[in-house]
Structure 1
Amino acid sequence: MTEYGELKTNLEPGDYIVVGRDDEARSEQKIKVEAGQTYSPLFTLNAGTLVIHPHASQGSEISGEARVDFNYPGGNTTHYGDAKATVPAGEQKVTVQIGAGTATETVQLAAGQTVEKDIIVGVGHAMLNAYYTAGGDKADNSGIGFEIVKAKKKIDGSRESVEHSYGPDSKFWLPPDDYVALTTLDLAVVEQPFSINAGDNQDVKVALDAGVLAMSAPGAYSIEVFSSKKDIEGKRKSLGLSYGDSWQQTIPAGDYVVVRHMSDQGQDKEMPVTIKAGERSEITVQ
């Protein structure tokens, strides 16, 4: 492909290298400049143009969230959304990524040719939110964490992590598969299974079955929450600890013991509390 452009400049006599470039394609020439002479170098870039339209699924609109990686002879470049790149002729490897999904295609591009191509990644969309109870109030808290893992466990019992995000209305683009949403808000941790097909647009609602516990302990060095039930050795499981004399946490519905720790030994005090899903409890340990 031959590109014409015009750049006028005055140069001192001498030897130079002049580079012609269009996007990712380039060519260079050595010229010897002599006084009083005019030079008009012509560059042959041996390049073509690739136009890539990325789609999340068949029939969907062009995705503005897509990452498009061009791997061309001698280099690579990355564009986002609807992508156009002028690159050296030859075999082109184009990879489109939308969320956790990718699709790769190989394109043969001749010099002077323009190739326009739609690439379909084949992912579905899921938006996740957490609720204190099923059908109850939405947990509109930036501290909510969502981790998407594959439902199928590995031989060691672990699951492959796919994506993660924080806050309400967390959005994920996922390849077709079975997944589990690990949702965390303070002391509440819930697993919510769901499945995705290409082209899906799902609202995944996670029920935390939890309430909010606001704790006050005047003069406390720290506040600690324990499960109410003791193990066979007579010990309670600690669920969390915070330094200071006040603390608020989202916590699964159930029975607990809140302990006020003081700086001086022998001054600790505890109070039992029952948490109901979707309700707020306020206690003062004195």
Structure 2
Amino acid sequence: TFEAKLPAGRYVGVAALGNVTREIPFEVKDGSVARPKVNFDAAELTVVPKRSPDSDVETQAKTEITKGDFKDSVYGQNTAFVPAGEVLLTGSIGPARAQETLAIKAGEKISHELVIPSGVVVAKAVYAQDGKAVETDDIRFEALSAKETLDGTRQTINGVYGTGKIMEMPAGDFVMRTRLGKVMVEQPFTVTAGKRSEINIDLNAGVLAITAPGAERIDIVETTKDLQGTQKEISGRYGTRHQETLHPGDYSVKVSYDEKSGRDPKEIKATVKAAERTETNVPE
């Protein structure tokens, strides 16, 4: 209730129950008491979000509740006042989404379980099967849609840098795209609602480390030439040192020097092996 002394006249009272608001016109007359009443035509809704019907309540979930101009949101298991009628619940856990329409009757106290089919994925990688684990945070994991669009691309659902980190995902089939240096590998995987999935990606890769004293620039190129006689550049850097993660195979290393030095460019061959570090020195 609310009490106030007001000059005689016409007014509009605005009452709020949570995010449910109502406007009530009323009139104050000299020497009398105005007693406007409000009917919120609302209910008390408790949302219980879960990843699967048999899983625990998910505290990280966010649920948006909408109906016309009405909007409210709750986190985890929580309660909100909502207008009577059909309200739309949109639940999210990371990129996972779920929607339900709920019929609400005024005066009710409702507890509703909202299932948002989702799980978590932990991705790791090795340089070769049964080989050394990748530990650098330079590695990028991207979870993509299993289906390609008409132009041949896949939608990115989630992504992280570094190994062993948790990615929130909707339930379903996906493709994990993994990048480290110039190596890119794709591997299918499945997320089960309410479960934790771990995947280990075989990069089939090694590291080429080049030292070239006095160099202005170091470039790694393919050993083969195209019809124009040029070699495809793979990776390059200005300076006397360069390191790159590459698939196993033979490569050419080109070293160029400042024009003032009067030194001719050099080119040597280097071989990269899976799960090995190849160190190559280009003498002055």
Name the structure 1 match of 2:61.
66
| C-alpha spacing 1:217/1:42, structure 2 compared with 1 (3 Å) | farther
User: What are the Cα deviations for residues 184-206 of structure 1, in whole angstroms up to 9, with x where unaligned?
Assistant: 01111111122333344211100
TM-score computed with the length of structure 1 as normaliser: 0.83
Asked if structure 1 preserves the Cα contact closer than 8 Å seen for 2:67 and 2:87, the reply is: yes
Higher strand share: 1
* Shift, 1:7, TM fit: 6.1
**C-alpha RMSD of matched pairs (Å):** 3.0
Partner residue of 1:195 out of 186, 190, 195? 190
Q: Distance in 2 between matches of 1:114 and 1:219?
A: 78
Name the structure 1 match of 2:281.
284
Paired residues for 1:1-286 under 5 Å = 17-29=12-24, 42-264=37-259, 267-285=264-282, 286=284
User: What are the Cα deviations for residues 210-242 of structure 1, in whole angstroms up to 9, with x where unaligned?
Assistant: 122333333333322112333454432211222
AA aligned to 2:220 is V
Q: Distance in 1 between matches of 2:178 and 2:223?
A: 24
Q: How many residues align?
A: 281
Q: Distance in 2 between matches of 1:282 and 1:73?
A: 66
AA aligned to 1:137 is K
Asked if structure 2 preserves the Cα contact closer than 8 Å seen for 1:222 and 1:241, the reply is: yes
| C-alpha spacing 1:94/1:267, structure 2 compared with 1 (3 Å) | same
Q: Distance in 2 between matches of 1:79 and 1:141?
A: 38
AA aligned to 2:237 is S
* Shift, 1:32, TM fit: 6.8
Q: Distance in 1 between matches of 2:248 and 2:3?
A: 76
5+ unaligned residues in a row in structure 2: which ranges? Answer: none
Q: Distance in 1 between matches of 2:254 and 2:162?
A: 30
| C-alpha spacing 1:258/1:93, structure 2 compared with 1 (3 Å) | same
TM-score computed with the length of structure 2 as normaliser: 0.83
| C-alpha spacing 1:261/1:83, structure 2 compared with 1 (3 Å) | farther
SS at structure 1 position matched to 2:60: coil
5+ unaligned residues in a row in structure 1: which ranges? Answer: 1-5
SS at structure 2 position matched to 1:64: coil
